[in-house]
Amino acid sequence: MVNDNFSLNLKMIRKQRLLTQQSVAEKLHVSRKTISSLGKQVGIYQILKN
């Protein structure tokens, strides 16, 4: 599934670059909760819908 790959890639890249969820959220202008949800493989469409 596309969302699974996105979630796993986001988490892997964030950890490789030693970034916190908060720092990624600030760079993307979203909440830390959004990044956390993406890392837990919550449906991206559900997140964007909210």
Average pLDDT (15-25) is 94
Give the chain's domain count: 1
For residue 1, pLDDT over 70 is answered with no
pLDDT of 2 strictly over 70 = no
38 confidence band (pLDDT: 50, 70, 90): confident
pTM, rounded to two decimals: 0.66
Instruction: Provide the residue range defining the domain that includes 28.
Output: 2-49
Closest C-alpha among 5, 19, 46, 3 to residue 34: 46
How would you class 4 by CB atoms within 10 Å of its CB: exposed for 0-12, middle for 13-18, buried for 19 or more?
Answer: exposed
Q: How confident is the model at residue 7 (pLDDT cuts 50, 70, 90)?
A: confident
Split at pLDDT 50, 70, 90, the class of 13 is very high
